[in-house]
Amino acid sequence: MPFTPYHLGPGICLGLPLRRVIHAPTFILANILPDIEPFLVLVFNLKYPLHGYLHSLLVAILMGGIFGYVMYVIEEFMQPLYKLLLLETSETLGSWSFIAAGSLGALLHVLLDAPLYSDIKPFYPLMVNPLYNPLLASHIYTTCSLMLTIGLIYYIGLAAKTVFTR
């Protein structure tokens, strides 16, 4: 799902309620992170698969973990923004909450994309996509849209709770 808001749905819908356990901003951004690959391929007209290594399960998990660690390192600097946006609670999370959030977010991205695109090789170096099933496309898009709606309603609820409890 390159360049679509669909990956935000699962990120927000799952990340916000779990923000006491995993780092929500990391999880939300990691759900989008693998689409850097098709973006770069299209923008720079690269001779590279649209969905390459970043859309394999192993590399997505590793990349997400590294991203989570980077988010942990910059947490002190970014925390005021996250709290302002209600993406964090007052509880302090350890580095593993960031790493897990990054890995799980990137993994979810690949699992959502794999049924949609035949060029994805989720089990690289195996050169097949056993998850490819284009008949699931409308279900995946509907589910992601529904999750975005639920996530936004949840977020509005958080904002309302914050406003009315001050």
DSSP letters, 61-110, are HHHHHHHHHHHHHTHHHHHHHHHHTT-S-SSPPPHHHHHHHHHHHHHHHH
Give the whole-angstrom CA distance, residue 13 versus residue 82. Answer: 17
What number of other Cβ atoms are within 10 A of residue 130's Cβ?
9
Quick: pLDDT tens for 106-158.
999 999 999 999 999 999 999 999 999 999 999 999 999 999 999 999 999 99
Q: Which of 163, 162, 114, 160 is nearest to 137 (CA)?
A: 114
Query: For the whole model, what pTM was predicted?
Result: 0.93
Residue 84 pLDDT exceeds 80: yes
In this structure, are residues 103 and 22 in contact, taking their beta carbons and an 8 Å threshold? Answer: no
Displacement of CA 54 from its chain's centroid (Å)? 13
